[in-house]
Amino acid sequence: MAMAMTSGSLLLGLLAQQAAGQLLVPHSPPAGASEPVPKGASSFSIEFSSVVDYFGNTTHPNEYSQNLLFNLKNATGAFPKIRIGGTTQDRAFYNPNQNAAINLTYETPTDDQPIKVTYGPDFFQSYHAIPGLEFSYGLNLAYNGSDQSTQLSSAAAAACKNMGSALSLSELGNEPDFYPGYPSYNRPPNWTMTEYIREWNWKTGVVTKAMEKECPGVNVRFVAPSFIWSNCELRPCKRRYGVDANGCSYMDTDCEERYGLTDLSMQSLLMNHTGVVGSLAVHLDAARDLSYLGLPYTLSEVNGMALQGGAWTWSMGSALWVVDFALWSTTNNIKRINFHQGTGYRYVAWQPVPVDGAEPNTRPPYYGQIMVAHALGNSNSTRLANIPLPSDTESAYAVYHNELLSRLVALNLEAWYANSTTTRPSKEYTFRIPGRYTTANVLRFMGPGADARSNLTFDGVSYDYELGGGKPVVVDEMGKKERVHVKDGMVRIEVPASSGAILVLR
């Protein structure tokens, strides 16, 4: 796959010319470095039908989820943002008379997703179970029955009334480019761009009217258009999307979705920096095309593979993909990446409740999220620069806080498996950095191998459910105390295959 870097990233080649194996990193952000990275850049999307599982309610909050989210907040100074949506938002119907928080109807009990969701007023307790979270809330665009306007108005008013300040954005519809065909069949095959825009404008008007009536003074904002295919037939609408006959723009944030679509080898599908660059190239092009709007470009729902993931997405390799995908995105000014989660899904960062007899558990992608959080750090002015490396199987970044070099990230993406009979290889990286630094704390992401599902640590810490219910538990004292010295303006770090490291400069 050919590299498809942004022009800004090509400029960064100047900062990392390899001289005698040294990677030259400047003291301040170079030309082409990212804009300031917003808090919550690496965040989560939760399947609509899984909300109660992930958060619980005000009487019985899911303390495990709370612990895991607090770990991320402690690293960055802010909670991740939470998008509620996915396929089941377009199968969800509000019933103000329903006593149960949520009822799920499955075609087959083993299916990943229900075919119908009904929810009542108590459903909204979940949004207050963990105080401080902000949500983007998914509303049903797909339903087009005779009472569609009434149903949508009722759902919107209930969300506004019950979520209060926790409601940050609304999202009308999920993957509408799927509506005319498989797997949705919610619209006729000849459903056009014009019809989509007309319907979106009409229904956002319904939502806005309902919310403003229920919550006077509320600022109603929308995420749009939430397509799945970057090259879909609907794509041209984004240059004029959300503008109705009165010239009223409802568009707040532009979103698209990215999925790996085939179960290839872990090395080619997930542990491949060139693959990350290629998969995001179309989004970077679109973000540039839309920059004149002055709106943040986000990835509303992403993960490493379609259909809720496969075997490889439940592995350390998938966690390293999370790190590279998130850092490359933010380096190139994608303002938010929502990694999708759902009860029983394979690619999740954590399973929040018992499923099929198995206890809740922390999955490898959560460790990827922890590494991203510590790479970005707690600063009100974080900027990133990619450090180009010669191989598909490695990746590196410089992180700047308040315009000064703060930390370095190195990922060795070579796939090495836990049952391998060979010695685990490693790569040494030598960074030439400004002379003001004398030491660096080393924060390593380690595990038995690329295919490992357990015994993972970050900075010597485990976040596993069975050890501390998601709270940090030190399991490797020596790993947590690792330091390296800066000598003659150079700092060296060895990174084993299928692992990553952060150098926090001192």
> HEC profile for 390-446?
CCCCEEEEEEEECCEEEEEEEEECCCCCCCCCCCCCEEEEEEECCCCCCEEEEEEEE
Q: Which of 1-15, 131-145, 284-298, 439-453 has the lowest mean pLDDT?
A: 1-15
The confidence score (pLDDT) of residue 265 equals 82
Phi/psi at 493 (5° precision): -145, 130
Is the per-residue pLDDT at 493 higher than 80? Answer: yes
Kindly indicate the confidence band of residue 4, based on its pLDDT and cuts at 50, 70 and 90: very low
Residue scoring higher pLDDT (306 or 419):
419
The pLDDT tens digits for 45-94 are: 999 999 999 999 999 999 999 999 999 999 999 999 999 999 999 999 99
Token representation of residue 223: 């995420």
Distance of CA 418 to the CA centre of its chain: 27
Residue scoring higher pLDDT (295 or 240):
295
The pLDDT tens digits for 142-172 are: 999 999 999 999 999 999 999 999 999 999 9
Kindly indicate the confidence band of residue 7, based on its pLDDT and cuts at 50, 70 and 90: very low
Q: The pTM is what?
A: 0.91
Spatial separation of the C-alpha atoms in residues 500 and 102, rounded to whole Å: 41
Which class is 7-12+14-32+383-505 in CATH? mainly beta
Q: Which of 66-80, 299-313, 345-359 has the lowest mean pLDDT?
A: 299-313
The confidence score (pLDDT) of residue 244 equals 37
Chain position carrying tokens 């109660």? 52
Domain borders along the chain are 7-12+14-32+383-505, 38-380
Q: What value does the mean pLDDT take over residues 127-149?
A: 98
Token representation of residue 284: 């970077």
Residue scoring higher pLDDT (303 or 77):
77
The confidence score (pLDDT) of residue 311 equals 58
Spatial separation of the C-alpha atoms in residues 94 and 98, rounded to whole Å: 8
Spatial separation of the C-alpha atoms in residues 210 and 189, rounded to whole Å: 31
104, β-bridge pairs:
117
CATH of 38-380, one of 2.60.40.2580, 3.40.50.2300, 3.20.20.10, 3.20.20.80: 3.20.20.80
Kindly indicate the confidence band of residue 228, based on its pLDDT and cuts at 50, 70 and 90: confident
Kindly indicate the confidence band of residue 249, based on its pLDDT and cuts at 50, 70 and 90: very low
Spatial separation of the C-alpha atoms in residues 239 and 128, rounded to whole Å: 36
Q: What value does the mean pLDDT take over residues 93-113?
A: 95
Is the per-residue pLDDT at 238 higher than 80? Answer: no
Q: Got the DSSP string for 468-496? A: HTTS-EE--HHHHT-EEE-BTTEEEEEEE
Contacts of 487 (CB under 8 A, 6+ apart): none
**Residue 121 CB neighbours (<10 A):** 16
Phi/psi at 479 (5° precision): -60, -35
Spatial separation of the C-alpha atoms in residues 439 and 441, rounded to whole Å: 7
Kindly indicate the confidence band of residue 254, based on its pLDDT and cuts at 50, 70 and 90: very low
> DSSP E strands: which ranges in 61-164?
82-85, 92-94, 102-105, 116-119, 135-139
Is the per-residue pLDDT at 183 higher than 80? Answer: no
Kindly indicate the confidence band of residue 230, based on its pLDDT and cuts at 50, 70 and 90: low
Q: What value does the mean pLDDT take over residues 446-456?
A: 96
Spatial separation of the C-alpha atoms in residues 386 and 267, rounded to whole Å: 21
Q: Got the DSSP string for 220-281? A: --EEEEEES-TT-TTGGGGGTTTB-TT--B-EEEEEEEEE--S---HHHHTS-HHHHHHHHH
Is the per-residue pLDDT at 414 higher than 70? Answer: yes
Phi/psi at 496 (5° precision): -60, 155
